[in-house]
Amino acid sequence: MHIREVRIDDAPSLIKCVDEISREGIYFLNEKYTVDEEEERTRIENHIRRGDVFLVAEENGEIVGFVIIRRGKYLKNNHVGFLGIGVRRDYRGKGIGKSLIHEAERIARQRGFEKICLEVFSSNRRAIKFYKKLGYKIEGKRKKQYIIGGKYVDEILMGKWL
């Protein structure tokens, strides 16, 4: 398994990875990833141009996980990065997510990020425990923000100062 910065030609494999995770229906807001290859290439290009941290975990030429830290768009919040991560089901529990986040935080520090924020469903207890282990703290909660599987789910807001 190799962790590296995303490339524009990763678009097809990245779409497949994100779509697979989305279709599980419990980790991302979308239930499927409907971006086409051209849109994905443009999206990747924009992240690279803005200086966001966008890494992929690759095994045998296929993307099995990713992490992105998007810089705040405004002068008032461009010291903050917003984290999103996903690892394909068959590759979870092998330290890939931890490796992705550690490397992304290292690069984020170099690029002048001061704080990383993330949002996670309260139903995703495994992820909350994982983020806490990595030093993220709960900063807030949006009650009944989502309905997943017919049940209300809170949104947990977490952050970490670099």
Average pLDDT on 80-86 reads 97
Residue 80 in this model has a pLDDT that exceeds 90: yes
CATH of span 2-161: 3.40.630.30
5 backbone dihedrals φ, ψ, rounded to 5°: -70, 145
126 backbone dihedrals φ, ψ, rounded to 5°: -60, -45
Joined together, the tokens standing for residue 159 give 């952050």
Tokens 């980790």 sit at which residue?
Answer: 27
> Residue 69 class from Cβ within 10 Å (0-12 exposed, 13-18 middle, 19+ buried)?
buried
Q: For the chain, give every domain's residue range.
A: 2-161
Average pLDDT on 108-130 reads 96
Joined together, the tokens standing for residue 120 give 């996670």
Average pLDDT on 51-76 reads 95
Distance of CA 103 to the CA centre of its chain: 13
Low-confidence winner among 31-45, 50-64, 83-97, 139-153 (lowest mean pLDDT): 31-45
pTM of the model: 0.93
